[in-house]
Amino acid sequence: MEKTIKLDLGCGPRKREGFIGVDAMKFDGVDVVADLRKPWKWKTGTVDDVHCSHFLEHLTGAERIPFFNELHRVLKKGAKATIIVPSWTSERAYGDPTHQWPPVCGFAFYYLNEAWRKVNAPHVGYTCDFDFIGGNSLAHPWGLKTQEAQGFAQTHYLNVAQDMHVTLTKR
């Protein structure tokens, strides 16, 4: 029987239960010390699931391209990756001086889909192909408001959307 591989990328000291903890630093719980800006050690099409919370924003815009290409390479077809980053409309995206420019925004995930790139952005260096869905976690009390009020607040006010949660599925 084939072993299931689930990676928690950039896990820091809070590795997700049941996952292999991967980080550039050797914290408690880190199983693999690796620089995710370089080629990854996992074989093509061998990873079943990825969780990546509050790591992507520490990569520069240019470093994110090979990150997503490697993510696509190691995932099995149909496998999912959960990406969580601070919303670009939140001070959380800018408060940590180790966060890189530009902040991650929802539109960035369109570039991960090959069909979209062919029509809209054939010049970029992506080789990955993902479908994606996502949304924002909202600051209190906005999660208790109507959907219309939530949408208005996210469009017009800062610090309403705290984190963006995106699920990528390898095509």
Please report the pLDDT score of residue 74 as a whole number.
98
Angle at CA 80, nearest 5°, toward 77 and 81? 130
In the 8-state DSSP scheme, what is residue 87? -
Torsion of CA 111, 116, 122, 128, to 10 degrees: 50
* Residue ranges of the chain whose pLDDT lies below 70: none
Please report the pLDDT score of residue 122 as a whole number.
87
Please report the pLDDT score of residue 82 as a whole number.
98
User: Which contiguous run of DSSP H or E holds residue 156?
Assistant: helix 147-156
Q: How does pLDDT run across 3-36, given as a tens digit for each residue?
A: 899 999 999 999 999 999 999 999 999 999 999 9
Helices (H), 84-129: 114-120
Task: Compute CA distances 97 → 54, 77, 89, 123, 154, whole Å.
Answer: 14, 36, 16, 30, 24
The pTM for the full model equals 0.95
- Is there a contact between 130 and 50 (Cβ–Cβ < 8 Å)? no
Alpha-carbon gap, residue 144 to 164, rounded angstroms: 18
Alpha-carbon gap, residue 163 to 15, rounded angstroms: 19
Please report the pLDDT score of residue 124 as a whole number.
76
- Is there a contact between 78 and 129 (Cβ–Cβ < 8 Å)? no
Please report the pLDDT score of residue 123 as a whole number.
80
